[in-house]
Structure 1
Amino acid sequence: MLSLVGLGCGLALLIVLAMRGVNLFIATPLCAAIVALTSGLPLLPVEGQSATDLVSTYMQGFAGFVSSWFFMFLLGSIFGKLMEDTGAAESVARWVVDRIGVRHAAFAVVAACVVLTYGGVSLFVVAFSVYPTALSLFRAADLPRRFIPAALGFGSITITMTAAGSPEIQNWIPIKFLHTSPWAGWQASLVAAIVMAALGQWWLNSMIRRAKARGERFETRENDPVSSRSHLPSPLLSLVPLLVVLALSFLLHERYHTGALIIALFAGCVATAALGWRYLAQPGHALAEGSTGALIAIGNTAAVVGFGAVAKAAPAFAETVTWITHLPGGGIVNAAIAVSLIAAMTGSASGGQAIALPILAPLYLAQGVDPGQLHRSVALASGALDAMPHNGYIVTTIRAICGDTHQAAYWPMAAMTMAVPTLGLIVALACFALGLD
């Protein structure tokens, strides 16, 4: 019982601290210590003993994430900085505004994220690539910049992350356990995606309109890239690096998996520098700024992963997972509820699937549940409630990339990345109930 109380208190405190803007390098070890103390886990490793301890478990989660994602974060951040410093991002932004008008600036940001994530660029680094363009678009349209994280999240982790055919890992994890294909349940997935796209864009535009009616406008910051350049690369030339990243990640994904993203982002960096060299005044500065940004971003995310590793080691966590995955009833609805709740606890869509599926897959397949429907339900459910304030993607996008605060940016982002995906899950479940696979 004490372990359960500690787990709940540690998670609740982490959410509160994240919302208040407390540094995650301080908040996550503190909250992990609460979980460890109430769960009987030693705080420090003891030589000769193999018992799970706070420091070792936290650092295994922290270092494991850095080991897996460092080069993607590094190259993604440098790519975004080069797009910014060469003026390529602003050139694309001006072209978009001229063609579709400032009223559709938010839609342009969402569309760019949709194309990149569905093309194979990891959602963890899409924000790095699109943020400079988003900033230029919102500046030109005079939209409140606190909605940029919501637009980035809506395009990256709502419509495409768990859709049929998506190359994101959240769509591929179920394949291992259900022996399905990434296109499982594509018809219901398509209907859900259309509903999410329409409702989400309407809701995002409505929130921005209400904010502008209250007098909110774009606020320029001291460290913003220069927006008054008279000489910019051509828009078509500026699109080439984005197309390079998209094409290579799509073509190489099946063969190299996450390695394809490293190749694609490196090629994107080279293409950006080569095509925009005459506009790049300080290449060394761009590399240094991009590298520093990557370290901050991956550090914030890894800190949350470290807390999650300690939480998983608590006895109460295993008991809670067992209870959730054995709720009364059966079928895809119960599976979706179980994965949603575990993803909310861990603050991770992929983590929710990885924990739940080894238990759920044999349980529900034995009941005769259709594997394709289960695949799509689990995938969509993992992205419904995972975007808690301490979620790694949320923290990285709001703080490290956009330089904003949870108080200002989280609630619009939660509407896009929690409420809208939950509706999409409900739509997909309704489609399955009506016999549409």
Structure 2
Amino acid sequence: MVLGFIGLLGGLGLLIYLTMRGMNLLIVAPISALFVTLLNGLPLFPQLADEGAANFLTNYMSGFSGFIASWYLMFLTGAIFGKVMEDSGAAESISKWIVGKIGMKRAALAIVIACAVLTYGGVSLFVVAFSVYPMAVSLFKEANLPRRFIPAALAFGSTTFTMTSAGSPEIQNWIPIEFLGTNAYAGWEVSLIVAIFMMVFGYWWLKKAIQNAVNNGEEFIQRDSDHFEVRSHLPNPLVSMIPLLVVLGVSFIFHDSLKQSALIIALTGGIIATYLINRKYFSNVGKAISEGTIGAIIAIANTSAVVGFGGVVKATPAFQEAVSFMTDIPGSPLIGGVLAVAVIAGLTGSASGGQAIALPLLAPHYLDLGVDPEALHRVVSIASGSLDSLPSGGYVVTTIRSIAGETHKDAYPMFGALTVIVPTIGTILAVILFSIGL
């Protein structure tokens, strides 16, 4: 069993190391899963295992393909929605309107708020980063701020106080519905308090870090690949928010009857609303849809790769022992749930992937113990958005490397502070508030 635990930790360490060395997740994840397999004594192929028994190939591909089967349409509609918002100029219009209200000196805050509005409006996290990044570069250039903080600002506005908050249409807030019988607004009172805390504390930390870097002589460094194109005609920012309201409204109307499937209808409604309202502003709607589709495939493939890693991890005896240990921790059952989901999200590198693996195991156990499903929904959701942002996470790699063109060495310290440490503190706060009966 000791060797098995070494395999789990070593596999995660290998996943993080190879990812930070620049290797592709679609290659790194199965290699790391193979390491876990060998040290846990699992057969490599189904032909070498007893019928129905765990093995590397079956478990990896079941996790990989299962996640795609469950969530592809949500990734697809979210990515296309983000792209049509971008192509029509609606996302830029909303972002510039926000900047106009808070001022250029607060460039980082403008990026955080723009990401938060789009995320809570239903735009996929990956697409939010793609959509807001060009504006972030322009703002950081004008304000002469170090560009290595752009990924942290994008991620903080997208994956912390918005992604896992009550009412959020992001899948990280919807996965628990299937297993706990709750709705997207579960535990909203505690969620509101935690979200405000994370927003205020995280922004204070980001602002302080940027100021320290500026005081040390860091400044914006322009690249040959930068493009500062200015659109002469943009739609009205307030009108551009209507599709976001459509997504929120439709998801609210259908969340009880359709559960997480309501998000597909909501995002589709957002796409249609964007086209109808802003069709004269589109530059190439067909290209936007194609790019959104490609973006969705890349995003879900990266996430599924690490979910496949988690599928192998889940099949090991060492993992079962670890889950048993965490769920039997004395005190509030919420603590065990939080630890289990956070650790599994860390092992899989994905908040949604971690929940998809953990909740089928944890939900029946905790519901049988009489745990409040709304409280469990909220703490599990918030906790899933903490260790998922270790350096190997699919969103982390995509945002830092693919979108921002930064290195982990430069961008991850602040990125990790805001997306791992801040949500972890927020999770602890949520458990305390639920435990005292709030």
State TM-score, norm by structure 2: 0.83
In the alignment, residue 156 of structure 2 is paired with which amino acid? F
Helix, strand or coil at the partner of 1:46: helix
Conserved? CA contact 2:346–2:387, under 8 Å: yes
CA distance in 2, matches of 1:299, 1:367: 36
For residues 32-53 of structure 1, the C-alpha deviation after alignment (integer angstroms, 9 at most, x for no partner) is 1111122222323429953433
Summarize the Cα distance change of 1:353–1:47 in structure 2 as closer, same or farther, 3 Å threshold: closer
Summarize the Cα distance change of 1:57–1:16 in structure 2 as closer, same or farther, 3 Å threshold: same
In the alignment, residue 155 of structure 2 is paired with which amino acid? G
Aligned to 1:422: 424
Conserved? CA contact 2:311–2:357, under 8 Å: no
The answer for unaligned runs of 5 or more in structure 2 is none
In the alignment, residue 74 of structure 1 is paired with which amino acid? L
Conserved? CA contact 1:84–1:132, under 8 Å: no
Deviation at 1:181, TM superposition (A): 6.1
In the alignment, residue 11 of structure 2 is paired with which amino acid? G
Aligned to 1:56: 58
Deviation at 1:106, TM superposition (A): 2.5
Mean CA deviation greater in 312-321 or 237-246: 237-246
Aligned to 1:207: 209
Residue correspondences, number: 436
For residues 134-163 of structure 1, the C-alpha deviation after alignment (integer angstroms, 9 at most, x for no partner) is 455445544444333322322333213333
For residues 74-120 of structure 1, the C-alpha deviation after alignment (integer angstroms, 9 at most, x for no partner) is 34333333444444433333333333201233323333443444455
CA distance in 2, matches of 1:313, 1:263: 34
CA distance in 1, matches of 2:373, 2:30: 39
Helix, strand or coil at the partner of 1:208: helix
CA distance in 1, matches of 2:18, 2:66: 24
Conserved? CA contact 1:121–1:245, under 8 Å: no
CA distance in 1, matches of 2:72, 2:428: 35
Aligned to 1:411: 413
CA distance in 2, matches of 1:283, 1:364: 47
Helix, strand or coil at the partner of 2:109: helix
CA distance in 2, matches of 1:349, 1:303: 13
Aligned to 1:14: 15
Aligned to 1:67: 69
Aligned to 1:43: 44
Summarize the Cα distance change of 1:282–1:424 in structure 2 as closer, same or farther, 3 Å threshold: closer
Mean CA deviation greater in 381-390 or 300-309: 381-390
CA distance in 1, matches of 2:280, 2:122: 30
**2:265 pairs with one of 245, 263, 266:** 263
Following superposition of structure 1 onto structure 2, how do residues 158-173 of structure 1 map, counting pairs within 5 Å?
158-171=160-173
Following superposition of structure 1 onto structure 2, how do residues 177-196 of structure 1 map, counting pairs within 5 Å?
185-196=187-198
Conserved? CA contact 1:89–1:133, under 8 Å: no
Aligned to 2:321: 319
Identity %: 57
Following superposition of structure 1 onto structure 2, how do residues 97-136 of structure 1 map, counting pairs within 5 Å?
97-119=99-121, 123=125, 126-128=128-130, 130-131=132-133, 133-136=135-138
Conserved? CA contact 2:255–2:262, under 8 Å: yes
Helix, strand or coil at the partner of 1:389: coil
Deviation at 1:23, TM superposition (A): 1.0
Summarize the Cα distance change of 1:263–1:191 in structure 2 as closer, same or farther, 3 Å threshold: closer
Aligned to 2:384: 382
The answer for unaligned runs of 5 or more in structure 1 is none
Q: Provide the alpha-carbon RMSD of the alignment.
A: 3.5
CA distance in 2, matches of 1:182, 1:268: 18
In the alignment, residue 41 of structure 1 is paired with which amino acid? L
Aligned to 1:29: 30
CA distance in 2, matches of 1:131, 1:261: 25
Summarize the Cα distance change of 1:15–1:165 in structure 2 as closer, same or farther, 3 Å threshold: same
Following superposition of structure 1 onto structure 2, how do residues 293-308 of structure 1 map, counting pairs within 5 Å?
293-308=295-310
CA distance in 1, matches of 2:116, 2:437: 24
In the alignment, residue 293 of structure 1 is paired with which amino acid? G
In the alignment, residue 395 of structure 1 is paired with which amino acid? V
Summarize the Cα distance change of 1:395–1:254 in structure 2 as closer, same or farther, 3 Å threshold: farther
CA distance in 2, matches of 1:228, 1:338: 47
Summarize the Cα distance change of 1:285–1:116 in structure 2 as closer, same or farther, 3 Å threshold: closer
Deviation at 1:130, TM superposition (A): 4.5
For residues 16-63 of structure 1, the C-alpha deviation after alignment (integer angstroms, 9 at most, x for no partner) is 112222111221111111111222223234299534332232222222
CA distance in 1, matches of 2:140, 2:213: 13
Summarize the Cα distance change of 1:326–1:404 in structure 2 as closer, same or farther, 3 Å threshold: same
CA distance in 2, matches of 1:360, 1:293: 32
For residues 149-185 of structure 1, the C-alpha deviation after alignment (integer angstroms, 9 at most, x for no partner) is 3223223332133334545554555566666665554
In the alignment, residue 382 of structure 2 is paired with which amino acid? L
CA distance in 2, matches of 1:373, 1:80: 31
Conserved? CA contact 2:25–2:394, under 8 Å: no
Conserved? CA contact 1:109–1:134, under 8 Å: yes
Deviation at 1:287, TM superposition (A): 3.8
CA distance in 1, matches of 2:238, 2:258: 29
